[in-house]
C-alpha cells in the first residue's frame, strides 16, 4: 500500500514540475510582479527641436606626418649551455620486473649544465 502511494505521489510531483516548466517557458515574466507604469515628462524637460547649422566645411584636413619606429635593438642571447655528466654511475634498481623476479640493473648519472664558450 505504501509503495503505491509513494509512486503516485512521485508521479504527481514530477508532473507538476513538468507543467510548471512548460508554463514558465510560455510566459517568462510569470513570477515577476511588475505593474505597468506611466511616466509623465513635464514640458520643461522636453528637448528642443534640432536646428540645422550651415558650415563651410565640416572636414578639416590635418597635416600628414610620417613617423618611423625606433630601430629595435638585438637582444643579447644567453650563452649556449649543454648538459654534461658530472657524477659516476649510480645503481637505482632493477631494469625489468617479471613474475620470476627482477632482472637487469638500471644505472643513472647526474647531468650538470656547462656553458659552451
90-104 pLDDT, tens per residue? 888 888 888 888 888
pTM: 0.28
What pLDDT, on a 0 to 100 scale, did the predictor assign at position 12?
Answer: 96
Say how far apart CA 40 and CA 31 lie, in whole Å.
27
- Structure letter (DSSP) for residue 44: G
Cα 23 from chain centre: 34
What pLDDT, on a 0 to 100 scale, did the predictor assign at position 13?
Answer: 95
**pLDDT > 90? residue 74:** no
Could you report the per-residue pLDDT of 4-57, keeping only the tens digit for each?
Answer: 999 999 999 999 999 999 999 998 888 887 776 777 767 666 666 777 777 666
What pLDDT, on a 0 to 100 scale, did the predictor assign at position 57?
Answer: 64
* 82, β-bridge pairs: 114
**pLDDT > 70? residue 59:** yes
Higher pLDDT, 109 or 55: 109
Amino acid at each position: 500500500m505504501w509503495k503505491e502511494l509513494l509512486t503516485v505521489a512521485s508521479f504527481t510531483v514530477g508532473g507538476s514540475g513538468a507543467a510548471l516548466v512548460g508554463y514558465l517557458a510560455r510566459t517568462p515574466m510569470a513570477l515577476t510582479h511588475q505593474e505597468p507604469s506611466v511616466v509623465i515628462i513635464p514640458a520643461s524637460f522636453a528637448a528642443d527641436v534640432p536646428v540645422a547649422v550651415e558650415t563651410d566645411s565640416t572636414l578639416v584636413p590635418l597635416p600628414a606626418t610620417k613617423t618611423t619606429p625606433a630601430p629595435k635593438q638585438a637582444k643579447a642571447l644567453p650563452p649556449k649551455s649543454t648538459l654534461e655528466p658530472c657524477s659516476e654511475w649510480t645503481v637505482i634498481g632493477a631494469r625489468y620486473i617479471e613474475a620470476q623476479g627482477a632482472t637487469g640493473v638500471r644505472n643513472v648519472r647526474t647531468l650538470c649544465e656547462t656553458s659552451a664558450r
